[in-house]
Amino acid sequence: MENNAVDAATLAGSVIHDMSIWGLFMQADFIVKAVMIGLILASFWCWAIIFEKIMRMRRLRHQASQFEESFWSGGSLDDLFDRIGSRPVDPMSAVFSSAMREWRRSTSRSGRDGEPHHSLSERIDRVMQITLNRELEQLERYMTFLASVGSTAPFVGLFGTVWGIMNSFAAIAISKNTSLAVVAPGIAEALFATALGLVAAIPAVVAYNKLSTDINRYAGRLEAFAGEFGTILSRQSEDEA
């Protein structure tokens, strides 16, 4: 009886010690460990993407405001284009540079008198749209990863949960003991895997929705500028015709 009491006390102490986060991870099955490690890495990568996107969107909005201030200041568009050069620093100036480059190429081409006005306008609009799509594609990079983690991480964590509960039932069958001390570690590991899945998924979903809204709003700002600038060049082309 005394030996049984000592064993029970020792077992209870070991269970309490092993209920720490590190203990739960170290005692987990290989499959559950792999699930936990994968979810932790996915969470870290999601946070890296989130911070990079937030800082980049803030920088792009500031650069767009500066460019619009210069663009609408009433100065010469040619001087603005020469100042920006061939390496624009933000998508809005890239759209502007691509249109101005096509405009200069068309105006300097010999035999332009026979070219229809609408043909030049269509080419400029097409060049701006291609540049805009390319810039937005770069801006939306890794957004698919956020969406994937947000939608799959809970199920990956659930897989670890199911596997941990299976191990708990296997431990009960082997030991033929339904004591909580036998079942608790496996269940705790299973619930820990679920918690990690939620920790990875919830920020990814929230950030994806927020960043998607910001990117769509910024894309609308670029499209509005492209439309206004295309109209300006079209009017200038009509005046020179």
Nearest-CA neighbor of 15 among 146, 187, 203?
Answer: 187
- Work out the angle at residue 141's Cα, subtended by the Cα atoms of residues 140 and 142, and round it to the nearest 5 degrees: 115
- pLDDT less than 50: residues of the chain: 1-17, 110-112
The string of pLDDT tens digits covering residues 74-115 is: 788 888 888 887 788 899 999 999 998 888 887 776 444 555
CA-CA distance, 134 to 146, in Å (whole number)?
A: 20
H helix intervals, 88-179 = 91-108, 117-139, 143-175
Q: Which two tokens stand for residue 120?
A: 């030049």
pTM of the model: 0.79
The length of the chain, given as a count of residues = 241
Alpha-carbon dihedral 229, 235, 236, 241, rounded to 10 degrees = 150
The string of pLDDT tens digits covering residues 142-160 is: 999 999 999 999 999 998 8
Identify the sign of the CA torsion 97, 99, 104, 110: positive
Q: Where are the domains of the chain?
A: 29-240
Q: Above pLDDT 90, what percent of the chain? A: 43
Q: Which two tokens stand for residue 92?
A: 């809005």
Amino acid 53 reads K
Q: Which two tokens stand for residue 86?
A: 């061939």
